[in-house]
């Protein structure tokens, strides 16, 4: 990694951030469904083609550390999404859509002011 230029390091970090952000809604959905159900498997496996596409079309070398970082970013997004679900669930009713829940809570906050 020491031979990388600044542009490759920046693109690598951007790819990791995109993977984490892309997986947050799927982790949120996964936390809301019954474990080992069809929806649970879909929540885990639907983002995989997107991550594979990003990995294939990135101009990064095929080093083990890079692949491990992509996998870690994938699981970090899933973990952050499920953590957000648990945090929102503690403060009121939630659905399986992070976008709906955050938007509805934001409108409630704005209306109550």
Each residue of 89-106: pLDDT tens digit? 887 777 877 878 777 766
Residue partners of 100: CB distance under 8 A and separation at least 6 = none
Per-residue confidence (pLDDT) for residue 53, from 0 to 100: 84
> What is the CB-side half-sphere exposure of residue 71 using CA atoms within 13 A?
6
Q: What are the Cα distances from residue 99, in Å, to 30, 75, 111?
A: 14, 20, 18
Q: Is the pLDDT of residue 76 over 90?
A: yes
pTM: 0.79
% of the chain exceeding 70 in pLDDT: 86
What is the phi-psi region of residue 60: left when phi exceeds 0, alpha when psi lies from -120 to 50, beta otherwise? beta
Per-residue confidence (pLDDT) for residue 3, from 0 to 100: 65
Q: What span, in angstroms and rounded, lies between the C-alpha atoms of 95 and 36?
A: 19
Burial class (CB in 10 A: 0-12, 13-18, 19+), 44: middle
% of the chain exceeding 90 in pLDDT: 24
Q: Is the pLDDT of residue 78 over 90?
A: yes
Per-residue confidence (pLDDT) for residue 1, from 0 to 100: 46
**Mean local confidence (pLDDT), 39-53:** 88
């Amino acid at each position: 990694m020491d031979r990388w230029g600044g542009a490759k390091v920046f693109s690598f970090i951007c790819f990791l951030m995109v993977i984490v952000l892309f997986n947050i809604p799927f982790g949120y959905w996964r936390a809301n469904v019954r474990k080992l159900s069809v929806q649970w498997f879909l929540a885990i496996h639907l983002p995989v083609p997107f991550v594979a596409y990003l990995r294939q079309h990135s101009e990064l070398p095929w080093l083990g550390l890079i692949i491990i970082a992509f996998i870690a970013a994938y699981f970090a997004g899933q973990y952050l999404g499920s953590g957000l679900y648990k945090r929102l669930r503690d403060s009121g009713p939630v659905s399986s859509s992070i976008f709906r829940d955050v938007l509805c809570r934001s409108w409630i906050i704005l209306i109550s002011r």
